[in-house]
Every structure is written in structure tokens, then in C-alpha cells.
Structure 1
Amino acid sequence: MRIVGLTGGMGSGKSTIAQMFKELGVPVYNSDERAKKMMVSSKTARKEITELLGDKAYSGEKLNRSYIAEKVFKDEGLLRKLNGIVHPLVRKSFISWARRQKYPYVIQEAAIIFENKNQDFYDKIVLVTAPKEVRVNRILKRDGSQRENILERMNYQWPDSKKIPLADFVVNNENLSETRLKVEDIHRLLLDNS
């Protein structure tokens, strides 16, 4: 079985592309969703995150996402430490999940594959792109974040120009019907090469 990474900057539409692959029958693992769950459910992660960011990192049994984002996106060292707690848990979970799948390939949706130098873990990588302004507007509509906060968080991700040469496939996600055709082409290529 092949492992395919699906990545792209904030607001590029990774989840939309992941859904298209799911509709084609491909098992897809969403790293961000899983990380959020594990940050709450794992006692070890919870303890380490509280030690790193303080008691305000949790509000009862929920992750205080706005507090965490405000802390880590203003301090690259904190972000790196938080990723050092969460990413190994997610990797272990993904590997266990992937072993249970019965399909020629699986997809791991992950926002920062290249930034974390994890590209060698994947057999192929699909990069989702969209113009920066389109991405900002999508995020504004999606979660009501403030523009300055979005741009601040985007600065922690590599620009598409740096990721494109490293990707095996690039999906420009502006026009949904064209995007769907591109996803179907990639799917056929991945099945043919499995």
C-alpha cells in the first residue's frame, strides 16, 4: 500500500480535496482533526501541553484553541515545542490506522509536510494551492478569524512557490469542476502505479 500526503496552505481547500478522494473510495486520515482529539484525549499530551502553555490551554474538557493559537503563532519556539508533543502521537496513530486499510493507497491530510521535513515519509505528495487572497477570504468566511491573525499564521507556512517543486502533483483549487477533474486524474495515476 502506498502512502500519499495531501498538503497545502491554510484556506487552500485541503479538506475539499480530501472529500473528493473519499468520494472515490480512498481512505483519508485527517491529521489536524486527529491532533485536536488527541490533545484532549491523551493524558500525556494534555499534561505536556499544560506544562508548556499553562492551564488556560484547556477550558474544562475542551481545547482552548484561540488561546493556544495566540500563544504559539507569536512564538516560533513554542510552536515547535507544541508540534514536538503532538506530531509523534499523530504519526503513531496514522501508521496504526493505515495498516488497517485495504486499498491500494491511503491519504494523510497534513498541513505542514514540507515545513516539518516529512516529505520522505510519503510515496507521493499532492499539494493544494490557491491564490493568497482567495485563501484569506475562505478562512474569514469559515471561522471568522481576523485578517491580521490569518496572515500571521500563514507566515509560519511555506509559500506555494517553495512547495511546488517538491510536490508530485499540484491541484490549483479555484474552480471546483476543474479541481474535481484533476483529482480524478491523480486518482487514476495513483491506482495505475500501485
Structure 2
Amino acid sequence: MKINKPKIIGITGGIGSGKTTAAKYFEALGFPLYNSDQRARMIQNNNPEVIQAIKNIFGDESYTSEGMNRSYIASKTFKDKELLQQLNAIVHPAVFKDFKDWIEQQNTDFVIKEAAILIESGSYKDCDLIISVIADQEIRITRTIERDGLTREQVEARMKNQLSDEERKEYSDYIIDNSQDLMHLQQQVKNLAAIIKKQH
């Protein structure tokens, strides 16, 4: 029998901010973690209804034998906001349902929901608390170039499609500044985890 409904802590942040690393530190402290981007990828590759709906919009080229053809879809949606909205209208409800099913399985006081577009997608409204991971723009650009092998122009173009840190702050209960090293990030997560457990 399900007794308590876990409080949902949303973690978000722009590209290269380190939100995934922060979320994993919370997970290591005993907070079950739902990674929205990973689950979305899994759904796009395995859910027959989602696959068919995506093919209806983007054609058969949108899938290969390996799964979703991400570079092809990215090239289409990058320049066409309407196509991106159509894709999101397929994927977001499926991820929302997946999260609902997942949270039913959790018997804990808190869960972490990590999502790059937590605020933009509107799913922040389902969260009890919101944490934004921020970092200096230059640091974020350097990290993303090193991690993903992108050019500076590509990183800056992606940043333009995301909210700014200032905009994220308006929605946030807590801010983690990840402009320093990993030890500093880990310590902030530890401190914040203790505050959340105590105050909420």
C-alpha cells in the first residue's frame, strides 16, 4: 500500500551547467533520480505509438536500424520552431506518463526529476521545489565544447534556444552555482540536501 507521496524536486540548468552531475550527487545521497532526457530517448526508441507519430511528421528517415535518427531530426527542428513544437507535443505527454508510473514505484520522501527544459515544458508546475544549476557562460561553453565536440557557434546557438540563468532564477527555490570544481559542487549538493530534508 502506498502511504506517502514523494515530494518532487526539479533540477534544471542550461547546457554545460552541470545539472546532470548535481542530480547524480543527490542520487548518491539517497534521492531516487528520474532523468527526463534519458527516459525521453528510451521512449523515442521503444514506444511504438511515439515512433509512428514521429515518422508521420518527419518521414521514415527519422529512424534507422539503431533507433531514432537524432542528427536528422535535430537538423529539421533546429531551424523550424513549429516542427520542434510538434515533436514536443508527441514526446512530452509520453514522458509525463512515464514519470507518473515511475513515481508510483518510489517509497521515499523526495524524488529528483532532472530535466533540461523543466521550465519551458511546463513540468516545473508539478514540482514541489525547483533547483537551478547555473555557471558562468564562458565555463559552460568550454565544458560543452570539451564534452560534445561542438564548435563554439553550435554551443552558442543552443544556448539561445534555452532560458537564461536569470530567467531560471525566477522559478527557482534554490540555486547551485557550479562555476568552480566538482568538490565545490558536491559540497553544495550535500548542504542543500540537508536543508531540504530538514525544512520540507
Unaligned 5+ runs, structure 2: 1-5
Match of 2:22 in 1: 17
Deviation of residue 146 (structure 1)? 2.8
Does residue 1:163 correspond to 2:195, yes or no? no
User: TM-score w.r.t. structure 2 length?
Assistant: 0.92
Amino acid paired to 1:27: P
Amino acid paired to 2:193: H
Q: Which stretch shows the higher mean deviation, 128-137 or 84-93?
A: 128-137
Write out aligned runs for 1:16-165 (5 A).
16-165=21-170
Deviations 1:148-174 (A, max 9, x none): 222222211110111112101111112
Does residue 1:177 correspond to 2:183, yes or no? yes
> For 2:16 and 2:72, how far apart are their aligned partners in 1?
21
> For 1:7 and 1:24, how far apart are their aligned partners in 2?
18
Sequence identity percentage: 39
> For 2:124 and 2:151, how far apart are their aligned partners in 1?
31
> For 2:62 and 2:156, how far apart are their aligned partners in 1?
22
Deviation of residue 109 (structure 1)? 0.4
> What is the number of residues matched between the two proteins?
194
> For 1:19 and 1:91, how far apart are their aligned partners in 2?
21
> For 2:48 and 2:66, how far apart are their aligned partners in 1?
12
Deviation of residue 147 (structure 1)? 2.5
Partner SS state of residue 30, structure 2: coil
Whether contact under 8 Å (1:105, 1:190) holds in the other structure is: no
Partner SS state of residue 4, structure 1: strand
Deviation of residue 51 (structure 1)? 1.4
Deviation of residue 87 (structure 1)? 0.8
Partner SS state of residue 92, structure 1: helix
> For 1:17 and 1:139, how far apart are their aligned partners in 2?
16
> For 1:83 and 1:100, how far apart are their aligned partners in 2?
26
